[in-house]
Amino acid sequence: MNGARDQVGRLLALVPYIQSREEVAVEQAAADFGVSPEQIAKDLNVLWFCGLPGLGMGDLIDVDMDALDGDGVIRVSNADYLARPLRLGSSEASALIVALRALREAGDSTVSPIVDRTLGKLEAAAGDGAALAARVDLRVDAPTPEAQQTRGLLEEAVAGGRQVRLGYYVPSRDEVTERVVDPLRLVEAEGHTYLDAWCHSAEGQRLFRLDRVSEAVLLDEAASDHSDVPPRDLSAGLFAPSPDDMLVTLRLAPQARWVADYYPVESTEELDGGGLRVTLRAGDPGWLTRLMLRIGGAADLENPTKLAADVRRTASEALRNYGRNDG
């Protein structure tokens, strides 16, 4: 499901990309889009069945398959309408304006001039979208001096190859733990800054969210060599399931199908009435319990059955806190 969505986005970008160059080598296109040449070839085999609604076979996008197969070169024609700029709806324009305003508030002095120029052009063209965005009261909290100090210490540890002792809050257990780590790098993902590090307690690579670090002490001990540990791929999100994690089966109502798009799933099965059965990996039972409570009655946990009973018990206890118990 995620692959099909990614392919649609690639196809929409691929046509104007090729048109601006007249022709481009498959290898170059693959490198620019971050996929394999075989995937580009698959995209093109889909592309030549595409066109505007209501058009006949002669009006579809034309891909020169002889050039593709013979010379490894991509040429397309009969797709001039995709060279036109995309039109943003008022809600899309307002969301983009608000996002740019947030980027300007959170960015440094090198970012602000670029964002301001972009905002000026977008607000002038957005019309109703700009008026809608103007009604949003945007406030971006500046990092506290303590947070800035922690980040500076971790940057120093990464650059100097030294170990750090962390006090770290774990929400799933509601406790602060202490561990020694070898810092690898700082990364930005999903609106937060994380320390990517080798944790000696877990004996593995872990991510630590900086706003959950209660204490950071730079140690004299040199960090071990972890040059064989690759950077984390966060393109698909922070959650990276392991084959050793428990396999979970969820039955999702139509309004909860978003779970299959938001989290990595191993399999999906369409159900009558628009529902979906999915299997996914969960390394933390507490995370799965919180997910089920968030979804509410729109999902059933089919397996493992013992954890399903724990979720029902947790839900009942939560309801009692509100003075009701629906069982």
Which tens digits make up the pLDDT trace of 240-299? 666 677 889 999 999 888 888 777 788 899 998 889 999 988 877 877 888 888 888 888
Distances (CA, A) of 76 to 20, 82, 165: 11, 11, 57
Sheet of 276-282, strand order: 267-270, 276-282, 246-252, 299-303
Q: Are residues 8 and 79 in the same domain?
A: yes
Residue that terminates a domain, selected from 134, 155, 170 = 134
Q: Give the integer Cα–Cα distance in Å for 243 and 301.
A: 20
pLDDT of residue 239: 62
Q: Which domain holds residue 200?
A: 146-222
34 lies in a domain?
yes
Do 74 and 23 contact (CB within 8 A), yes or no?
yes
Last residue of a domain, one of 222, 256, 280: 222
Residue 262 lies in a domain: yes
What pLDDT is attached to residue 219? 94
Region for residue 44 given its phi and psi (left: phi exceeds 0; alpha: psi -120 to 50; beta: otherwise):
alpha
Q: What is the DSSP string of 119-168?
A: HHHHHHHHTHHHHHHHT-----PPPPHHHHHHHHHHHHHHHHTEEEEEEE
Q: What is the pLDDT of residue 325?
A: 47
Residues 124 and 102 reside in one and the same domain: yes
User: What confidence score (pLDDT) does residue 82 get?
Assistant: 59
Q: What is the pLDDT of residue 277?
A: 94
- The domain boundary, picked from 83, 101, 116, lies at 83
Classify residue 71: in a domain, yes or no.
yes
Please state the φ and ψ torsions of residue 50, each to the nearest 5 degrees: -110, 150
Whole-number pLDDT of residue 222 = 94
At position 139, the amino acid (one-letter code) is R
- pLDDT digit string, tens, across residues 177-207: 899 999 999 887 766 788 999 999 888 888 8
Q: Give domain status of residue 197, yes or no.
A: yes
Whether residues 54 and 71 share a domain: the answer is yes
Indicate the burial class of 147 (C-beta count within 10 angstroms; 0-12, 13-18, 19 or more): middle
Alpha-carbon distance 76 to 89, whole Å?
28
Low-confidence residues of the chain, pLDDT below 70?
1-5, 48-49, 51-59, 78-88, 105-109, 128-130, 132-133, 137-143, 171-174, 190-191, 233-243, 321-327
Q: How many structural domains comprise the chain? A: 4
Tell whether 44 and 15 lie within a shared domain. Answer: yes
Helices (H), the chain: 2-19, 26-33, 37-47, 65-71, 90-106, 112-126, 128-134, 145-160, 258-262, 285-295, 305-321
Contact 14, 64 (CB under 8 A): no
Q: Which two tokens stand for residue 163?
A: 């170990």
Q: Please indicate, yes or no, if residue 162 is contained in any of the structural domains.
A: yes
Does residue 250 form part of some domain?
yes
| Same-domain status, 104 and 72 | no
Same domain (yes/no): 65, 111: no
Q: Do 274 and 204 reside in the same domain of the chain?
A: no
CA angle 16/17/22 to nearest 5° reads 90
CATH code of residue 184 = 2.30.30
Residue 234 lies inside a defined structural domain of this protein: no
101 lies in some domain: yes
108 and 166 in a single domain? The answer is no
